[in-house]
């Protein structure tokens, strides 16, 4: 190999160091689709600017690489020309003109390489070494030393000129970033290309056509939501910051994710990755947004977190999201609602390359399914299991999930849909899930399980009512787990809502009403859920078909997740999307002014439990004089400045001070028993202690609570002022 070609190999290693590394953050500061001047930057223009900037960057990077002498084109051009030259020379009658042309081309590349910083610095190092050797001789040759010094000076001048040229190119890109295009410019450097949307009550409107995203990019809020606690995506109120929405105006999708290359599902090296976080999406809300992909059409890797995706309508596939062949979709903390399609009202994926967790699918409509996986994936990203976990499908028109055998379904709650899960005559992978109370059938087309995968547990620890029976060509306990339980059709799955106007706090009819799950409601976390219940007639936790009945295993694809749909810890692994939690906190507090009463909602800190009915309390704790209220409420420590009563109708604790001008604080505590705490092994843990503090202040501002010296201080200041006046008049 010629020395020149050998040195070019280092270009591959060094080329990355000669390229600019800027990824940019761009701020969108108008909700309009396009700006009429250079003052504002729209969402569409921000994406276009990043594309233009990257094109500019690619051009400048290549120019810098040539200056540095590390351009990859050196290797490509030299390798190709050398191969063609060898072929020409090997011919019986070589074309001398062609040989001359190819040799000239190789020399031209070599000249560019020799003029680059890499070659110049290499030559400089060689000359400096030769100078050191010559000057180290007993009798150095002055002429040789002078010649070497002249060479070193010439090389340093060339290096300086090339470094200045490189700096000029870098400044050219920086100037481009600072100036921007159509009002969009680089706000800051970032690790990835990032579009930042200003938080807005007004939707960001996308008019006439979707935005095409053809390179890796993140879309985030400029200012993260300031809510201290994780709140429901649909929650509104004065204390809740309005969510930022991107909305389609016209019959079209919002985004097409496509870099124009053929992606390979086995690797993400050649695919773009596009991320959206904390942003909601509204489709066109008409009877046609697009043929496939009413909101998103994805051909790359699409990741969406903490978002509401609604109003998408596809005439064929993917009302909200169409996931093409070899594309990957991942989502967490999502709410899909009011999306419509012939198939895949929420998601249609050509292959099983989907990863969904902690999400809710409700009020979507499809002729076929809400989430559809059309075909198995031959191979996916290494160590990943295509899956839908910790999610709820409730109240959809259509079959909730159309699954394939390479898709893992785990800790799902699938209820109140037209149908539950269609397994398409393939072996099911279903674990720790509730599939019940669906209108027609809970399962469709469950495939037979043969002995080709005897070490795999296919189905374990689920409850269902109709259609989920398994067909197996042989007996294997791992395949048909005894905890894959069929419930009688008479078992009430969803509890009624409030009865006779009696407040229950969680929209469930109060115990002893039947129903294994509460209706869909806000039970904490980003999305609504069906909270499981412990019925009054249970004598022990083991009688519940849900609580503590999940699949205990260390196998990655089937083990219980660490968190439930609400991002709360799974301590014992309940079946379904929600892990039943006990008391949230054991303290309550309130500030009042003179004459007010303090009212505490008992349900505020009760967790997932329900108040044990009053008629159950005597059997647990014995009789009391005044009789029990729901929750077996009893005062443990009495207040010293007021009185407390329990309102059983509204389930409230009401405090009234007995001193009309009481200024200070009062404390008391009460005991409460819930449908969860009653199963505690220790008697003391069956009664939950709630500590309460009430602070009473006058209606108008007063002096410091810690130092009651306000009047004295004012009087002293007045006397001091009078004294100063008296002294001046003397």
Please choose, from the candidates 172, 167, 213, 214, the residue with its C-alpha nearest in 3D space to the C-alpha of residue 56. 172
107 or 15, greater pLDDT: 107
User: Where in the chain are the domains?
Assistant: 3-23+54-179, 587-697
User: What pLDDT, in 10s, does the model give residues 308-320?
Assistant: 999 999 999 999 9
Question: Range with the lowest mean pLDDT among 239-253, 453-467, 707-721?
Answer: 707-721
> What b/e string do you get for 314-330 counting C-beta neighbours within 10 Å, with b at 16 or more?
bebbbbbbbbbebbbbb
Give me the half-sphere count of Cα atoms (radius 13 Å) on the Cβ side of residue 530. Answer: 34
723 or 46, greater pLDDT: 46
Q: Which residues contact 214 (CB under 8 A, 6 or more apart)?
A: 51, 258, 259, 260, 272
| Mean pLDDT comparison of 178-192, 234-248, 410-424, 699-713, highest-scoring range | 410-424
Task: Please tell me the pTM assigned to this model.
Answer: 0.86
Tell me the pairing of strands 485-486 and 23-28.
unpaired
Which pLDDT score is estimated for 388?
A: 96
Q: Is the pLDDT of residue 594 over 90?
A: no
- Which residue's entry shows tokens 């019925």? 535
Q: What are phi and psi of 573, to 5 degrees?
A: 70, 85
Average pLDDT, the chain: 86
- Write the CATH number of the domain with boundaries 587-697: 2.60.40
Is 607 strand, coil or helix? Answer: coil
Token pair for residue 414?
Answer: 């699938």
C-alpha–C-alpha distance, residues 197 and 301, integer Å: 21
Kindly list the distances between the CA atom of residue 408 and the CA atoms of 441, 530, 671, in Å, as whole numbers in the listed order.
20, 21, 44
User: What pLDDT, in 10s, does the model give residues 81-101?
Assistant: 999 999 989 999 999 999 999
- Residue 320 contacts residue 292 (beta carbons within 8 Å): no
Calculate the dihedral angle through the C-alpha atoms of 233, 237, 243, 246, rounding to the nearest 10 degrees.
100
Terminal-to-terminal C-alpha distance of the chain: 109
pLDDT band at 700; cut points 50, 70, 90:
low
Q: What are phi and psi of 701, to 5 degrees?
A: -60, 145
C-alpha–C-alpha distance, residues 328 and 315, integer Å: 22
pLDDT band at 263; cut points 50, 70, 90:
low
- Residue 96 contacts residue 72 (beta carbons within 8 Å): no
pLDDT band at 346; cut points 50, 70, 90:
very high
C-alpha–C-alpha distance, residues 53 and 186, integer Å: 9
């Amino acid at each position: 190999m010629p020395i020149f070609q050998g040195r070019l190999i280092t270009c591959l290693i060094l080329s990355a160091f000669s390229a600019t590394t800027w990824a940019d953050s761009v701020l969108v500061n108008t909700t309009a689709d396009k700006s009429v001047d250079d003052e504002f930057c729209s969402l569409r223009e921000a994406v276009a600017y990043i594309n233009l900037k990257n094109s500019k960057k690619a051009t400048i990077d290549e120019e810098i690489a040539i200056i540095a002498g590390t351009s990859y084109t050196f290797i490509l051009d030299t390798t190709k020309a050398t191969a063609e030259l060898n072929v020409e020379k090997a011919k019986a009658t070589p074309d001398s003109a062609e040989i001359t042309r190819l040799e000239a081309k190789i020399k031209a590349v070599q000249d560019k390489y020799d003029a680059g910083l890499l070659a110049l610095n290499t030559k400089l190092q060689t000359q400096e070494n030769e100078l050191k050797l010559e000057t180290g001789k007993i009798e150095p040759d002055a002429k040789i030393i002078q010649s070497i010094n002249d060479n070193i000076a010439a090389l340093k001048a060339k290096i300086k000129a090339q470094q200045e040229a490189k700096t000029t190119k870098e400044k050219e890109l920086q100037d481009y970033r600072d100036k921007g295009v159509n009002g969009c410019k680089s706000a800051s450097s970032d690790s990835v290309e990032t579009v930042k949307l200003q938080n807005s009550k007004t939707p960001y409107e996308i008019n006439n056509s979707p935005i095409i995203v053809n390179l890796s990019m993140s879309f985030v809020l400029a200012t993260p939501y300031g809510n201290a606690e994780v709140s429901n995506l649909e929650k509104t109120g004065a204390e809740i910051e309005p969510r930022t929405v991107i909305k389609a105006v016209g019959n079209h999708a919002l985004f097409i994710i496509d870099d124009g290359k053929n992606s390979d599902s086995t690797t993400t090296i050649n695919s773009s990755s596009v991320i959206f976080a904390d942003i909601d999406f509204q489709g066109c809300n008409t009877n046609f947004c697009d043929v496939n992909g009413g909101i998103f059409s994805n051909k790359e890797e699409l990741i969406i977190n903490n978002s509401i995706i609604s109003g998408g309508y596809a005439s064929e596939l993917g009302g909200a999201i169409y996931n093409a062949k070899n594309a990957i979709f991942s989502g967490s903390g999502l709410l899909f609602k009011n999306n419509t399609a012939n198939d895949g009202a929420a998601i249609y994926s050509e292959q099983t390359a989907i990863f969904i967790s902690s999400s809710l699918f409700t009020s979507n409509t499809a002729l076929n399914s809400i989430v559809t996986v059309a075909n198995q994936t031959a191979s996916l990203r290494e160590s990943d299991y295509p899956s839908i976990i910790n999610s709820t499908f409730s109240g959809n028109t259509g079959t909730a999930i159309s699954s394939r055998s390479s898709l893992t379904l785990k800790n799902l709650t699938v209820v109140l849909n037209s149908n539950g899960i269609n397994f398409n005559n393939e072996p099911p992978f279903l674990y720790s899930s509730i599939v019940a109370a669906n209108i027609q059938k809970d399962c469709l087309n469950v495939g037979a399980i043969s002995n080709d995968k005897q070490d795999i547990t296919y189905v374990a620890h689920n409850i269902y009512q109709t259609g989920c029976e398994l067909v197996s060509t042989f007996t294997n306990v791992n395949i048909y787990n005894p905890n894959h339980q069929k419930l009688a059709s008479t078992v009430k799955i969803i509890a009624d809502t409030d009865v006779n106007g009696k407040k229950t706090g969680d929209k469930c009819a109060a115990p002893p009403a039947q129903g294994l799950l509460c209706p869909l409601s806000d039970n904490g976390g980003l999305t609504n859920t069906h909270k499981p219940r412990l019925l009054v007639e249970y004598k022990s936790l083991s009688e519940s078909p849900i609580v503590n009945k999940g699949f205990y295993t260390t196998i990655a694809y089937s083990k219980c997740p660490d968190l439930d749909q609400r991002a709360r810890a799974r301590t014992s692994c309940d079946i379904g999307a929600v892990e039943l939690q006990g008391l949230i906190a054991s303290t309550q507090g309130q500030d009042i002014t003179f004459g007010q009463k303090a009212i505490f909602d008992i349900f505020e800190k009760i967790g997932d439990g329900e108040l044990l009915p009053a008629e159950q309390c005597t059997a647990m704790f014995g009789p009391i004089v005044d009789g029990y209220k729901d929750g077996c409420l009893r005062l443990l420590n009495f207040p010293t400045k007021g009185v407390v009563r329990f309102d059983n109708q509204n389930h409230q604790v009401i405090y009234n001070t007995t001193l009309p001008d009481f200024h200070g604080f009062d404390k008391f505590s009460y005991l409460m028993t819930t449908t969860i705490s009653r199963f505690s092994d220790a008697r003391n843990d069956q009664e939950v202690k709630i500590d309460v503090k009430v602070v009473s202040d006058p209606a108008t501002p007063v002096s410091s609570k810690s130092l009651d010296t306000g009047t004295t201080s004012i009087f002293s200041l007045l006397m001091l002022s009078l004294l100063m006046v008296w002294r001046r008049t003397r």
